[in-house]
Chains A and B, each alone.
Chain A
Amino acid sequence: MLRLIGRRLLLMVPTLILASMLIFALAEVLPGDVGRSILGPYATQEQVEILNKQLGADKPLYERYLAWAGNFVTGDWGDSLLLKVPVLPTVMKALGNSLVLAAFALVIIVPTSILLGVWAGLRRDSVLDRTITISTLSMTVIPEFVSGVVLLYVFAVWLKWLPVTAMPPDGAPFYERLYYLILPAIPLMFLELGYIARMARVGTVQVLAMPYIRTAVLKGLPRRRVVFGHVLRNAMVPTVTVIGSQVGWLIGGLVVIETLFVYPGIGKLMVDAAQTHDIPLLEASVLMVAILYMVSNLFADIVVALLNPRIRAGA
């Protein structure tokens, strides 16, 4: 097990280096001239050159990459061009906000989708099964900003049950923050719902066909005990496996939902930095997301390995 984790951690290093090169290349090479891409088409060539010198953009490429990567590792992320504040605390604060939202969404996603999936699986091929399957899958394929605005309209504008914004006024207690996060978290849930519920359903259907379930039923175990003691436990493995592979979708969803609800998370920060060509902020936030993405994928793999002895031993 430890060897598996160690090997995966080692594998992460080259991937991370390649990803950082990709980000650096996209941010600094593609636009050709960094100074020009920051100042825009109306700046004079002189201004562009001065800015390039300030940023060190006149040096050779590999030197710039090494300097940037070295500074990133040592925690010197520079200043935001537009906001004129240090990048590191800005990114970290936004990341914290995003993690709160993501964690809250996951807390809703997992039980809801497993519950719906197992329920559909237990009533296989019934009207209930079809209804659950089709509606959860439709929710999953519809873009999150579409379900987001519809939910905003229904619950915040029309019924007025939930607030329109995603952040409570300053100084509000934590539980109130969660209340404000309900509405942004639901479209995030939709994004994953169909897929996870589907896995839970298939898992349930497969487990129900197993001989040990027949044995349990035939020896007169109450249905509740069969479902909770046998079916649920064994149907969970494939379900948990897919939850981990959905992190990329959750991150993409965060970008959109944070923009829609004007929530100060890392997704919103990244979109704003991209729109204003705030290169240092953009690079740092994207690289941070890449690290987060890889770490959560690693975490997901570890959970899968813990659940599946075959993988655990095979590694």
Chain B
Amino acid sequence: MSDERNTPFGPEPDLERRVGQLGDDPEMLELRADAAVRAREAELPGTGPRQEKVLEADAAAAAEQRRQRRYLVRALLRSPTFMTGLIIVLFWVFMACFSTLITQDPYAQDALNSLKAPSPSHWFGTDDLGRDVFARAMAGARTVLIIAPLATILALLWGAIIGLIAGFWRGLTDEVMMRLIDVLLALPIIITSILILSLLGSGTAIIIVTIGALFTPVVSRTVRAAVIGEREREYVMAARLRGERSAFVMAREILPNITQPIIVEGTVRLGYAVFTAATLSFLGFGLAPPSADWGLTIATERVFLQIAPWTVLFPAAALASLVVAVNLITDGLGRVWSK
């Protein structure tokens, strides 16, 4: 519902199939079957030569994995969408870290030079308090790039835990967890976060936790679907038969095999986290002035749109470029992995 759609970028959505999209392509299934056979062989009580064979199989599997990874990296480096997105995101990461060393002071006010048009001394002009718009547009990356990735990591962490438990145990646990998750989605995300932030106050930490918590349901559904696809496979059976604890099977056996859908989900959520964090700032539930945050800047400077459009248009362009870039990365990853 509110956040049910996947990123609009990425490979063609398959209208017939909804669950476990990424892991289901034939090549991966084959690899998995191989791994399962090897796992089964590895579990047989072995004598001398048998042991050696196991070691050989292990080495072969490791080499295969390395080959796969190299292939992936090469394919990503060749993908123009992925590289464009990556370069833009890296630019903003760099600016978030070091912009204050390069540009003018983004907080220095200069009442005599307020709302001045772009000029050689102020490339993007100045805002109503005479602050350099270029410096602020560059420094604005910092807040978004702190909030969005941390919120995404929280959502992935919680979502993975809930999804693993619900998908692995099924039954009543699954039912109860999924119903509770549904309640969180009973309202559009932006509205729930407004409720929470207006009543709890809004510091960076609260924003991160709120966005992380509200993104958890969708992540946990993705993880759950992937876990359900894995739990009947031989290697899981093997691990259970040799008496491993559930927590071990979930964390060490299943989790490594579903990293791909989790990473794709992570990049999708990152795009939405940037979107949500910026929107909350714009609505006045994010950071407080004088932060150079893009959403906040657009909200406070939009009254000057008619007389000094540069104060609004440059941060708007900066925010747009970051959001599109994150989605280009998702798109590239999805395309390469779906091949």
Residues of A within 8 A of B (CB): 15, 18-19, 22-23, 26-27, 30-31, 37, 137-138, 140-147, 149-150, 152-153, 157, 164, 194-195, 198-199, 202-203, 205-206, 238, 242, 245-249, 251-252, 255-256, 259-260, 270-271, 274-275, 277, 282, 286, 289-290, 293-294, 297
Contacts and interface: CB of A to CB of B under 8 A. Distances in A.
B319 A146 contact: yes
Interface residues of B, number: 50
Given A26-B199, A252-B190, A259-B283, A153 B313 contact: yes
Interface in B296-331: 298-299, 302, 305-306, 309, 312-313, 316, 319-320, 323-324, 327
Given A140-B8, A203-B15, A30 B200 contact: yes
A290 B186 contact: yes
Given A247-B1, A252-B188, 20 more contacts: A18-B183, A19-B187, A27-B195, A27-B199, A137-B8, A138-B324, A141-B324, A141-B327, A142-B319, A149-B305, A149-B312, A202-B13, A242-B5, A246-B5, A252-B2, A256-B279, A274-B194, A289-B187, A293-B187, A297-B1
A145 B313 contact: no
Point out which of A27, A137, A256 has the most chain B C-beta atoms below 10 A from its C-beta. Answer: A137
Contacts of A198: 8, 13
Contacts of A242: 5
A249 B198 CA distance: 21
Interface in B159-204: 182-184, 186-192, 194-196, 198-200
A143 B273 CA distance: 11
A132 to B, nearest CB: 13
B79 to A, nearest CB: 14
Given A153-B312, A274-B195, A141 B8 contact: yes
Given A142-B320, A248-B3, A22 B196 contact: no
B186 A19 contact: yes
A163 B168 CA distance: 57
B4 interface: yes
B278 interface: yes
A249 B15 contact: no
Contacts of B3: 248
Given A26-B195, A252-B190, A145 B275 contact: no
Contacts of A18: 183, 186
B287 to A, nearest CB: 15
A142 B323 CA distance: 6
B323 A15 contact: no
A286 B8 contact: no
B199 A30 contact: yes
B9 interface: yes
A277 B198 contact: yes
B271 interface: yes
B8 A255 contact: no
A255 B191 contact: yes
Contacts of B189: 248, 252
Query: Which of B187, B299, B319, B327 has the largest number of chain A CB atoms within 10 A?
Result: B187
B190 A255 contact: yes
B27 interface: no
Contacts of B332: none
B313 A255 contact: no
Contacts of A146: 278, 298, 316, 319-320
B305 A152 contact: yes
B15 A206 contact: yes
A18 B192 CA distance: 14
A274 B198 contact: yes
A249 B187 CA distance: 11
Contacts of A26: 192, 195-196, 199
Contacts of A37: 199
